[in-house]
Structures are given as C-alpha cells and as structure tokens.
Structure 1
Amino acid sequence: MSNRPSSVRWWVLGVTTWASFLLYLDRMCVNFAAKSITVEFQATQYEGWFVGAFFWSYALFQVPSGMLSDRFGIRRMLVIYILAWSVFTAVLGLAQSFLLLIVFRLLCGLAQSGAYPSAARAVRDWMPFTLRGTACSIVALGGRIGGAAAPLLTAPLMVAFALWGTGPEFRPEEILDADLLRNRLRQQGFPQVPDGDARHLADFLNRTDLASVLTRDWPPERQRELPFEVQRTLRQVPTTGTVSPAERARWNRQLWEQWLPRAFSKLEARGWRPVMIVYGAAGILVAAAFWVVFRETPALHPWTNAAERELIGSAPAGAAPRSREPFPWKVVLSDAGLWGNCLSQFGTNVGWVFLATTLPRYLEDVHHVPVLQRGVLASIPAFAALPALMLGGPWTDWFTRRWGRRWGRRLPIVSSRFLAVAAYGLCILVLSGLAGPLAGTFAITLALVGACLVSVATDLGVPATWAYAQDVGGRHTAAILGWGNMWGNLGAAAAPPLYSWVLGRNPEIREWMLVFAVCAGGFLAAALGAMWMDASRPVDDDEVQPAA
C-alpha cells in the first residue's frame, strides 16, 4: 500500500479557483457594459451609482455571509451563493427599468459577498500551513483571470449579439439628441440634412457614405483637423477591391461614432442583454462541480487517504467543522491590527477599482479607442498582474519564514501599495501632454503601462492580505476575512460615485487627472494602514498557530 498522499486537496483548490473565475467574470462584465446599459435607460449621470450598487451590498454582507459559511458549512453555502449570483446576473438581461437593474445588482453583490470568505475557510481547512499563501495566490489568480477575461469576452460577444439577425445601420432610438445632431451636421456643411424626427436622421446617416464625404469633398487641411481616431480609421477603410454592403455599413457606422461620439449610442449597446444571460447560465456548471468535489474537511472526503489527511493536519472525521462560538466582536473592534487591515483594504479598492469600473470609459473618452480594441486593452492590466499574483503567495510565505508573521504579511502589502502610488503618478504625466496626442499610440501605451503597474502592485499584496486573515482568524477565518473585505468593498462602493462626481457630465483632462490623484491617495492610505497589521496576534486567545 502506497504512503503517497492523495491529491484531493488540489481538486478542491481547482474548483474553488473555478468559482473565483466565475465570480469576477460575472462582476466585471457588467462594468464593461455599464455605459451601454446606462445610455439605453437614459441614466448616464447615474453610471457611477449603478456600478457602485454591487459593492454596497457586497461589502455590507461580507461578515454575515462569512458567519453563515462558518455555521452551515462551505459546501452548502458556496453552492447557494454561486447559483444566486448567477441568477441575478442573468435577469439583468431581462430588466425593463433602471430601478430593477439597481435591485438586481444589489442582490448580485449580496450573493457574491460570501464567496471569498468561504474560499478562505476552504483553503485554511484543505491546505498545509506552509502553502496557505501560495494557495491563496491560486484562488485569487482565478478571480483575476475572470476579471481579465470579462472585457476580452464581453466586447466581441456584445458586437456579435448586436449584429445577430440585423445590420449595423442606425436605428431611430439610437439617436440621443436629434436637434443637436442636426445642428452639428449643418454646421459642418452637410447638404440636405432632414428636418424630420430621429427616423429621418437615421435614414440620412445610413445613406451618407462619410468616408467618401471626408476624403473627397473636404480639402486636406480640413481633414487634418479631424480627430486623430477618425483620421486613423479613414486610412483603414478599404478603397479598392470588392467591399460588401454590410462591411461598408460597419465602416460607415464606426466613422460616425468616432466623429460625433455623443450624438448616438454605440452599435455594441444592442448586445449587452444576451451576454448577461449567457454568463448567468454558466454558473450552473460551476455550482455542480463544486458540490461534487468539495467536502468540509479532508477527513470527511471519501477520496482522501491517511497520508493526505496527515499532511494537511485535518480534524478527525467526527469533528464539527462549523463555528458555533459567538463572533468575538469585542476583540475585533479593539484590535489595531484589524483596523489597519480595514484601512489598507479600503484604500486599496479606492485606487484599484478604477481599473475594474472606469478604465474602459477612460480609454473611450480620452484615447478614443473603438470597442473591440477597447475590450483587449482593458483586459491587459489584469493579465499583466497574473504573474504578480502567483509571486505574491510564495513571496509572503518566504518573508514569513525569514522574519516571522508580523513582517512577513506586512511588508508585501506596504511595498506594493507604494508602487501603485508611483504608477498613478505616471498616468497623470501621460495626461499632462508629455506623451504627445492622447489618441496616439505612444500615449495609449504609456497609460496602459501605468494601469498595468497598478494592477501588478495590487495583486502582489493580495495573498498576504488573505494569509493575514487566516493567521489571525482561526475558527472564525471566514468572518474575519469578511470583516476586512467589507471595508475594502466599502471603498469599492464609494469610489465609482466619487469618480463620477469628480468627472462630471463632460470631463476634460483636468478632471481625469484629479481622478488619478484620488486613486493614488487611496493606495497611500492603504500602505499606512498595513503598517499596523500584526499577523502574530490571533483573534482567539486559545487558538494555537503552527510554527512559522
């Protein structure tokens, strides 16, 4: 009989990571489509509140959902959480009022609030102490891949569904302001602009070949005054060979949208509803896989052998895996280290959530990037951070073995947050004009470098934050992680409305620079808060920690 440990712990880690992937995919897909959604409901001024609604319920229910997982078990509760948030994601595609959208996002946040506290407890119960940081990296990696995949998948899916059974031609309901559009066209010298309603204007836009007008009728000096992105598209429009009417219509639509971006809604806005339904349906598969693979402890799993149970150091099969003791509120509320963790997570999310919620709008409004390219570019920071997330776990484990829990968990967070402050400084320099035209390739590249550095810095510290909660939480790990996550997501909830307030309805470069300054300030506060974190002081006085 072999004494080699079975590998069930890795299967458990795998399905937990898959759930983390879906968590972020369903969360971030809505953020990418937020502008299209709010334009459809004529609520663009409330975009920040729509995006932030998720984070309010997600934050406020972190501790209750973590306590439910500690009380009723991870297997039962996480499956309920996955199915619930999947349903509320799918019904977004059926909503017929902006109020219902807000309600569904609040409910989705409530359902997702239990996911990471449950995952933290699963990692604590299934992984040896020496691998906790690494395991946290892997679970968080799944979430980051889901977040990175969200714009990359959502953009082409929205376009595909938008063109499913129809063409790219303008529809009357896509004209946002008929009078404004009519006046702009006449000011630019377009002949025979109709006096009728939006239907007549839509027919005029579809009949007018804008590429021909701009290249044939406008003199070169006037063409050079066109926005950079329009000039770039004009160079890409096919002028020779056979071009199908559908392809010509797509080029025409893209040029109109780039030249007069606030006059009508974008083509891809038609496709957001079926995308939500597809993502919601995927949750059934993830929930089923988790139910089949997971058990509360290794001792209760029929697939584990004695060697694996000994390696993990699990409780005996008859031990209750659930925490029935009251939550130690008095200790939590009086512990400076836990409050430092709360400040660190709050500040981190104030700065990081820009990448998750507002980066696509920044690329569109400032750098004028089209939707498909925008989906790719918006995903790059998250993909860039994947190696950092994998490095962060072994990094904090190595620091802990060398310098103990206090500095082993503290240093990765503090240093990474200062790196993020510097990265937002680079973003401000890009907007100062030093990188040339904002729609130029060099400026876009530098802006993405800054965003990637922010993402890398954030994820370098994530495993240390999780490991800190596991070190001090003991049998209350899920609730303790939920307590810190609550404050972090209060920062994430407050940030989008704050961004919207700073930007206003029609932001200029100065307002975008102020937003970057706010994000840098959030990371500075996070670094200062992390200095108070002490992983050597558990919440439970009777909790015995393994040697570092």
Structure 2
Amino acid sequence: MDQSRPVPGFRWRIGCLLALGVFVNYIDRIALSVASPQIQGEYGLTNIQLGWLFSGFFWVYAFAQIPSGLLADRFGARATMRLSTVLWTVSSGLMALAQGFAGFFGARMLLGLAEAPAYPAGTKATGYWFPRSERGTATAVFDASARFANVVGVPLVALVAVHLGWRWSFVMTACFSLCYAVAFFLGYRDPSRHPRLTAAEHRYILAGGACAEGMATAGSGWATIPHLLQQRKIWGIILGFAAYGYFFTLFLTWMPNYLVRELHVSMMQSAIYIMIPWGVATLGELFVGGWLIDALCRRGYDDTWTRKAMLMLGFMLGMAMIGAIFTHRPGWAVFWISISLGGLSSAAPIIWSLPSLVAPRGVGGTVTGIANFVNNGAGIIATVLTGYLVSLTGSFGAAFLCASVMLVAGFVAIAILVESFTPVDEPPACGMAVPLSGLAEDGPVKS
C-alpha cells in the first residue's frame, strides 16, 4: 500500500457504534442505582435488600458471560449483538412496570441476561476492526463510554426521576435501547462484509495484526476452556478482572446511595457530584490508557512493559479511595474517589484488550467471556457484601477497605502471572473447526 496516501478512517465509525452500545448499556444499568433512594423509601427496603437488588443484574450477567463468548465465537458479533439489543430493550421497559422486591429482582435478572453478550461480542468486533497499534485507543473509546454514561446518564436519570417519578426513568432507558437496536441492525458488519470499508483500509487493518476472521484453528466451544485455564496468563487476567470488577461495580451501584445516605446530600446534588469522578475516569481512559499507550508503543517502547506499567500504576492509584474513609465532606470524598476511578480507568483499556491480545485464534470471545464472568462474579460479591457491611458498621469505610484489598490482589496477580501480551498456545484440535462471523453471515467477502 502507498504509504503517502492517508488511510481512510471508517473503522473509527464502527468503533463509535460499538461504544454507543456500551453507553446505552450502562445507562440501563445505572438507572436503578440513581433511583434507588426513591425506590428504597417507597418500598421500605433495607440496605441488605438493596444490595441483593443491585446484585440481581450481575447474577445472570456473570453466569451468561462464557456462553455469550461461545455464541460470539460461533455466530459472530453481528448476529449475537442483534439478538442482545432486542432483548435488552424489552427488559429495560419491564423495569418501569415492576412491583416490589421480587418484581425488580426478576426484571434486573432479565436485563443481565440480555446485556451479557455486549462485552464478549464488542471486544471480538474490536479485534476484527483495529490493528494492534490502535487496539488501546479503540478499546478505550469502547470502554470509556461506560464511564461517560455515568457523566451523562446519572444527572439525566435523576432529573427524570425527581420531576416525573422513577418509573419514567426506566421508560427513557428503554427508548434509548430501542434507538440503538435500530442503529446496530443498520450499521454493523464484520470488515470482510462491510460495503463501506475500502480495500485499502481493510489491508491496513489486516497488516497491522487485526484478529483474523474465518475458521477457528483452536478447537471449538467448551472444549477449549480446560486448555485456556491451564495457562498462567489466563489466570493473571482472571484475577486482574476480579479486582477490577469488584472495585468498578462497588462505585457503579452504591455511589449514589453513599452520597445521599452517608454524606447527606440531595438526590440532584449527588448526581452532580457523581459527574466529577466519572468525568475524570472518562478522560483518563481515553487519553492515558488509550492514546498515550498506543503512542508510546508506536514509538518503539516495549509493548508488554509499557502496558504492564500502566496497569500497575492504575491499580495503585485505585487505592486512593481509602482517603474517602477519613472525611465526611462531599467535596473531599469526591476528590479521593476521582483519583481512584481516574487511575484505574486509565488501566481499563489495557485490561479489556488483554483477551483479544492473548487469545488463540477464533476464541477471543470465549476468553473475554471467562474474564467477564469473573469480573461480574466479583461484582455480585461487591454489591451484596457492601449492603451487609453498611448495615453492620453504619458506614461505607469497611466496603472501601475491602475494595482496596482486592486491588492489591489483582496487582500482584498481573505482575507475576502475565509475563507478556502475546497469544497463548493453541489447544489441540478437538473436532471440526467453528465457522466464525465472517462465514456465518450474509454478504460478499471483501477481496
């Protein structure tokens, strides 16, 4: 390819489409957290009940991760995400109709099932569409939308809940989900199938080390999992994801309640305060974990050590949340939480790019599913355990301390077990190869 000609940038439109899905996905998730003070007051829920209610989403979401990864590997990102977007639109609307603890819990479980394929399929699609030199930035755009959803979604949901009632906030999220379902149906194809991707850009993507479409060479389905679980790198990723998931879920679910109940601010004030740490997290992820890391790797710095150093720094900064234990002033609490979320979010693109970087060909969705299963399993523990700790101690101090211990464990696991970011060995052949999305979907193959 002529290096003097600029490479078209259509792949970034696909990246933004995938990011928009995560954005809508997380607005669906946070709606309950934002509306929880109203719902808790209306139905007389205890902190323990509220913790279990927050966990309802994660029980099904976590256990559906590995099957979702297998579905993404078998049928492709396009087909898997099409089904997912339709289901999460329906389940978002059901939250507006729910009555009592059982009704809310059931609706949240259905939402967890519907949204489970989003990260395995989205990570797989990112691997198809972006070369390794752009993988950090692409993953940052994809994952930072989860943080930005809190910046925009929290005040928006709070505004609707305060003025129209909490049920209307769920009607709003269902409408957002429906709009995204239509956009994804119309806009997404894999690179080899997309009519708007030029041959020049496709060659650039492939030459840069994008994940290959086609037949899986690493066996099929569940048979790959025992081999993957024998790899040190996979266990490093698993334990790192557990620490990350515990921390992130704690703040995603409990921060509005923490500000209202412990720091005694109003619901609308809490929404404004929450915008600050999530805004810092969004910027940290995009510019440090995404752009800066990719820029350093392109300049010749060692890929493994550059990414690993940012991971370690991010986990260390995440422990700044301990500072919030020693203050009852909202401003100072938000300051320490902002450092914590901003630091760990700067490491998030590296965390989320690891499955596509180390997975054998054809099983990137499965590796992501395994990692995200553990990620959200830790989230279940975080939501439920926090409810018990707050009830027993009367504050969030013990909950923040537990999250810090998890980060230390994740730091050690990644430092020791993830020696490099190269693919692990492929498992022995175990049956017929699995047709991936490039072969399972309609349309001409791009030459």
TM-score range, shorter chain: 0.7 to 0.9
Tell me how far apart the structure 2 counterparts of residues 66 and 40 of structure 1 sit (CA, whole Å).
38
Overall identity of the aligned pairs, in %: 24
Unpaired stretches in structure 2, ≥5 consecutive residues: 429-447
Q: Which of 389-398 and 533-542 deviates more?
A: 533-542
Counterpart of 2:186?
A: 292
| Match for residue 250 of structure 2 among 339, 346, 354 | 354
Post-superposition shift, 1:458? 1.6
What amino acid is aligned across from residue 102 of structure 2 in structure 1?
A: L
Equivalent of residue 325 in structure 1, options 195, 207, 220: 220
Aligned alpha-carbon RMSD (Å):
2.4
The structure that has the greater radius of gyration is 1
Q: Select 2:378's aligned residue among 454, 472, 491.
A: 491
Shift in alpha-carbon separation, 1:457–1:4, aligned structure 2, 3 A: closer
Deviation, 1:414, is 1.7
Specify the alignment match of 1:529 in structure 2.
Answer: 413
Residues 410 and 143 of structure 1, relative CA distance in 2, 3 Å threshold: same
Question: CA–CA distance in 2 between the matches of 1:409 and 1:330?
Answer: 27
Superposed CA deviations along residues 290-316 of structure 1, whole A, max 9, x for unmatched, are 1211112x221111221111111189x
Among 445, 448, 459, the residue aligned to 2:331:
445
Matched position secondary structure for 2:31: helix
Could you tell me how far 1:349 is from its partner in structure 2?
A: 2.2
Measured in 2, the distance between the counterparts of 1:34 and 1:66 equals 31
TM-score (norm 2): 0.87
Q: Which amino acid aligns with 2:176?
A: A
Say if 2:321 is the partner of 1:424.
Answer: yes
Q: Deviations over 1:230-278 (max 9, x none)?
A: xxxxxxxxxxxxxxxxxxxxxxxxxxxxxxxxxxxxxxxxx11111012
Paired AA for residue 28 in structure 1: I
Of residues 35, 49, 54 in structure 2, which corresponds to 1:51? 54
| Partner residue in 2 for 1:155 | 158
Please give the per-residue CA displacement for 1:401-430, whole angstroms capped at 9, x wherever unaligned: 645443333222222111111x12211222
Displacement, 1:319? 6.4
Change (3 A) 1:322 1:28: farther
Partner of 1:115: 118
Pair 1:415-2:313 in alignment = yes
CA shift, 1:540, in A, is 2.3
Question: In 1, are the aligned partners of 2:51 and 2:383 still within 8 Å (CA)?
Answer: yes
Alpha-carbon shift at residue 321 of structure 1 (Å): 6.7
The aligned amino acid for 1:428 is: I
**Partner residue, 2:174:** 280
Instruction: Name the CA shift for 1:24/1:321 in 2 (closer, same or farther; >3 Å).
Output: farther
Q: Distance in 1 between matches of 2:308 and 2:226?
A: 24
CA contact (8 A) 1:400 1:407 kept: no
Alignment of 1:452-491 (within 5 A): 452-473=338-359, 474-491=361-378
**Partner of residue 230 from structure 2, selected from 325, 331, 334:** 334
Deviations 1:342-361 (A, max 9, x none): 11111122223222111111
Does 2:287 align with 1:380? no
1:132 corresponding residue in structure 2: 135
- Equivalent residue letter for 2:279: F
Structure 1 residue runs of 5 or longer lacking an equivalent are 162-270, 431-437, 543-548
- Does 2:19 match 1:17? yes
TM-score, length of structure 1 as denominator length: 0.72
Structure 1 counterpart SS, 2:14: helix
Classify the secondary structure of the residue corresponding to 2:220: coil
Structure 2 distance, partners of 1:349, 1:301, is 34
Q: How many residues align?
A: 415
Contact 2:133–2:297 (CA under 8 A) maintained in structure 1: no
Q: Who is 1:364 aligned against? A: 260
Matched with 2:199 is 306
- The answer (yes or no) to whether the contact 1:351–1:521 under 8 Å persists in 2 is no
Deviation at 1:106, TM superposition (A): 1.0
In the TM superposition, residue 35 of structure 1 has moved relative to its aligned partner by 3.0
Partner Cα distance (1:398, 1:331) in 2: 34
